[in-house]
Structure 1
Amino acid sequence: MLAAAAELWGLHGLDWDDLLKLTLHFALLSMLAVGGAITTAPDMQRYLVHEQLWLSDAQFTASVAIAQAAPGPNILFVALLGLNVAGAAGLVAAMAGILLPSSLVAWGVGRLGRRRSESIALRAFTAGLTPLTLGLLLSTGWVLTAPTREHAGTWVLIAATVAAMAWTKLSPLWLIAAGAVAGMFGLVG
């Protein structure tokens, strides 16, 4: 019976214990996802690619890139990672893990925050999350550029993007378009 259920859900050779491990790991990451689930991509990559060997580096990067290019919520990459790891069951496991814990905490903290919005401790906590979020986003960028870091054009594009974001009011969409054109012409790895 379990074998039939595994075939129906398309587990890709994983068993139910593996799905539970996937759910629990993503649940832990959910609690660290300050700034969004994308900030935990480096640990997702470590776990899925290097520790569990469920995905290759190229599959991981492609999953994130495809999901980020698609219209819809930013968290779609988690669904695609789960789908690539274990089919529909992996999709459900990854999304349940990443969404449920942080959603429950956000709901509880939101209720508390409305009652104590003037608290110095609450304001200090909120201000302290800014550097944490920036660090997580930088580490995500580092992991996602891994396949193209050897190419000098990648570094030029990164430097130009950082400079444009720091010193101009240019929309990030123009920088994304520039990156797409650079990739299309082979200027970045």
Structure 2
Amino acid sequence: MALLADLFLQFSILTVVAFGGITAMLPELHRLVVEQRQWMDDTTFAHLFAIAQAAPGPNLLVVSLIGWKVAGIPGAIAATLAISLPMSLVIFFLYRHWERFRDAPWREAIQTGVAPLAVGLVCASGWLIGASAGLDLRGILLTLACTGLMLARGWHPLWYIGAGAAAGALGLV
């Protein structure tokens, strides 16, 4: 029971830094579950993230999988509720008042400031997952090539996933 309470409390606190969604908070989530609490290792964390990304549905699945790995089905439920419930309640109560301040200069400042924060957090998450996956030079080069192509061409991400799968199947990565 103490483990479930700790899981719920820690994940509830993480919702404060969830600008940009679950993916943006992966570095802090990793720090918590791998480095601080030692509930799992780097590889398990990367695998759970990969499974969550491969499954249909929201990115929130990674939190449910981490909770499941830590404390089974009750852990999955506690982690999912902890990530979803607190900020959902805050947004529910604040949203009614947000429109009242549509012309306030501080509102635009907040909205302008949150965008680069979210982008930076998502980039940090990508770096963390790459580092946790234990990439060698070939994996790093494939990552850089896919990133460059995505920025230059804007192809659908499934093409890059397919390229990575093919490179892995052929033993190139």
TM-score between the two structures when normalised by the length of structure 2: 0.91
| 1:75 corresponding residue in structure 2 | 60
| 2:119 corresponding residue in structure 1 | 134
Q: Please state if 1:171 is matched with 2:156.
A: yes
Alignment partners' CA distance in 2, 1:173 and 1:119: 41
> How many angstroms does 1:183 deviate by?
2.3
Alignment partners' CA distance in 2, 1:133 and 1:50: 23
Give per-residue Cα distances to partners, 1:25-59, cap 9 Å, x unaligned.
11111111011112111222221122222112221
> How many angstroms does 1:150 deviate by?
4.5
Contact 1:148-1:154 within 8 A present in 2 as well: no
Q: Please state if 1:186 is matched with 2:140.
A: no
Q: Please state if 1:146 is matched with 2:138.
A: no
- Partner amino acid for 1:168? R
> How many angstroms does 1:165 deviate by?
2.4
2:74 counterpart (82, 89, 97): 89
| 2:41 corresponding residue in structure 1 | 56
- Partner amino acid for 1:66? I
Alignment partners' CA distance in 1, 2:99 and 2:65: 35
1:112 counterpart (94, 97, 103): 97
The percentage of counterpart residues that share the same residue type is 38
SS in 1 for 2:164: helix
**Greater length-normalized contact order (CA 8 Å, ≥ 6 residues apart):** 2
Give per-residue Cα distances to partners, 1:105-155, cap 9 Å, x unaligned.
222332222222232211111110111111111111111112445411222
Query: RMSD of aligned C-alpha atoms?
Result: 1.6
Compared CA separation, residues 77 and 54, structure 1 to 2 (3 A): same
TM-score between the two structures when normalised by the length of structure 1: 0.84
Aligned length: 173
> How many angstroms does 1:81 deviate by?
0.5
Give per-residue Cα distances to partners, 1:79-101, cap 9 Å, x unaligned.
01100100011111111111111
Compared CA separation, residues 58 and 150, structure 1 to 2 (3 A): closer
Contact 2:46-2:133 within 8 A present in 1 as well: no
Contact 2:8-2:79 within 8 A present in 1 as well: yes
| 1:101 corresponding residue in structure 2 | 86
Gaps in structure 1 of 5+ consecutive residues: 1-15
Q: Please state if 1:31 is matched with 2:16.
A: yes
Contact 1:34-1:129 within 8 A present in 2 as well: yes
